[in-house]
Amino acid sequence: MNKKNLHMKPVGSEYMEQYNALLRYVFQVTEQELSSIGWQEKEMIRAKFPTMEKADVLGWFDGDTLISQVAVYPMQVRIFGKTYAMGGLTGVGTYPEYSSQGLMHKLLEQALKNMRQRGQYICYLYPYSIPYYRRKGWEIISDKISYEIADYQLPKNQQVKGDVRRVKTDSDELKQTYHKYALHTHGAVLRDELAWNEYWLWDSDDIMAAIYYNENNEPDGYLIYWIANEVFHIKDMIFNNEEARAGLWNFVSAHFSMIDVVKGDTYTDEPLAFLLEDASIKETISPYYMARIVDFPAFIANYPFKPDTVERQWKFTLTDPIMECNQGSFLLTISKEGCGQATPIAETCDDTISIQTMTTMLMGYKRPDYLFKIGRIQTSEAIIDMLEDSIEQQTPYVSDYF
């Protein structure tokens, strides 16, 4: 390896096979795993190709050989009722013989600068290493709860005014159902064709979908599932109200004679057990997605704080391991109407907070009071009370995978 041969540049579609080979090597995806979901190598490349065409892909090359890479998908998310452009970071990998040279740090720095130029002021990723991404400024913002329900623990049938109908997984109705849900769900990705393609990418051909229609024949929720070896697997279930939730569980329970157990995942902060008559089910909670604010002042300019009777202010020093625009002292001003403004200031501040902590706090995953208690925010109790009153209480929902 000659370091003089190493250079960073955008990765075009002509490098698709090298991009794919690097991913498979780093994440050890075997032919057996691909064939188990019906994939062949060339099919995978074809499926990724349209996504790659829309993505911002950066890589380090040794001569003409791709050795390190990141991809950023152009996406949108809902944050407390506001739509933000979001950079979806994925495809991160470096061949082991090129590691420990700072290549990935420089790729992430350039990717974040590109996001900032495109107005993507928040970045999501699914972490392969939480400690690594924390060191780079990302923090956990959502959880996944996996559950297991025995057939005899399934909820009894409830009378609902609507009905559940099975639909094709590529139907427009399914996409419309999700869009309706995502618009009023904090943290949710607003899925375009690229995001839907990623959502389905690793699912096998036997995946199915069902929609709950209310009494006005409007979709109010859906269930994505498959059945194998007497197990009812739930990939995702969304609902806009309690009636839709009950209707979808009626549909699951109707499979009682066919199955022994229901296994599934949910992406809210609400454990399922409390809603079941027999609450002694298995539930496992694990961190899911991470995020980081790309440009703090620009993110704050669109952020919806809670209104109050007075204007609020906070002076503090923000730290960020990568982005210079997030480093230094700021004056945060929140108007009576809940509009925020973050202005860089020259003075030194005793109050300090990292971009990781700021992200998880403003995304609603952890509350200011908790972050203060564990030493992640250095400030006064009066400021913590102000932040508690200013930030909405709702944890993010992220059910995507990219």
> Where are the extended beta strands (E) located within 214-299?
219-228, 231-239, 261-266, 282-287, 290-293
Distance between CA atoms of residues 53 and 55, nearest Å: 6
Distance between CA atoms of residues 390 and 309, nearest Å: 11
Instruction: List the alpha helices (DSSP H) in 140-226.
Output: 172-183, 193-200
> Where are the extended beta strands (E) located within 95-218?
122-125, 139-140, 143-150, 163-167, 208-213
Tell me which DSSP letter residue 216 carries. Answer: T
Beta-sheet pairing, 340-345 with 82-94: unpaired
Q: How far is CA 61 from the centre of its chain?
A: 29
Tell me which DSSP letter residue 118 carries. Answer: T
* Bridge partners for 283 per DSSP: 147
Q: Positive or negative, the Cα torsion across 77, 79, 85, 88?
A: negative
Distance between CA atoms of residues 266 and 356, nearest Å: 25
Q: What is the dihedral of CA 227, 230, 236, 237, to 10 degrees?
A: 100
0.85 cut: is pTM over it?
yes
Q: Which token pair is 310?
A: 């007075």
Residue 56: its pLDDT value, please?
Answer: 93
Q: Looking at this protein, which amino acid is placed at residue 293? A: I
The domain defined by 145-287 carries CATH number 3.40.630.30: yes
Distance between CA atoms of residues 320 and 343, nearest Å: 16
Q: Which token pair is 55?
A: 């993505």
Distance between CA atoms of residues 394 and 132, nearest Å: 26
Distance (Å) of CA 340 to CA 239, 297, 298, 305, 312:
32, 9, 10, 7, 9
Instruction: Mark the ranges of the chain whose per-residue pLDDT is less than 50.
Output: 34, 37, 39, 44
Residue 268: its pLDDT value, please?
Answer: 86
pLDDT tens per residue across span 340-352: 999 999 999 999 9
Residue 47: its pLDDT value, please?
Answer: 54
Distance between CA atoms of residues 27 and 103, nearest Å: 18
Q: How many CB atoms lie within 10 A of CB 12?
A: 12
CA angle 75-80-84, nearest 5°? Answer: 25
Place of tokens 């669109």: 302
Question: Cβ distance 79 to 363 under 8 Å?
Answer: yes
Distance between CA atoms of residues 289 and 286, nearest Å: 10
Residue 39: its pLDDT value, please?
Answer: 46
Distance between CA atoms of residues 390 and 107, nearest Å: 35
Distance between CA atoms of residues 375 and 15, nearest Å: 45
For the chain, give every residue range classified as CATH 3.30.1050.10. Answer: 295-390
Classify domain 295-390 by CATH number: 3.30.1050.10
Q: What are phi and psi of 298, to 5 degrees?
A: -70, -35
| Cβ neighbours for 215, distance < 8 A, ≥ 6 positions apart | 161, 162
Q: Tell me the chain's radius of gyration from C-alpha atoms.
A: 23
Residue 273: its pLDDT value, please?
Answer: 85
H-helix or E-strand spanning residue 342 = strand 340-345
Residue 203: its pLDDT value, please?
Answer: 85
Distance (Å) of CA 286 to CA 46, 78, 146, 184, 269:
32, 22, 8, 24, 11
If 0-12 CB within 10 Å is exposed, 13-18 middle and 19+ buried, where does residue 298 land? middle
For the chain, give every residue range classified as CATH 3.40.630.30. Answer: 3-120, 145-287
Question: Cβ distance 55 to 72 under 8 Å?
Answer: yes
Among residues 226, 104, 113, 126, the alpha carbon closest in space to that of 166 is found at: 226
- Across the chain, mean pLDDT equals 92
- Class (C level, CATH) for 3-120: alpha beta
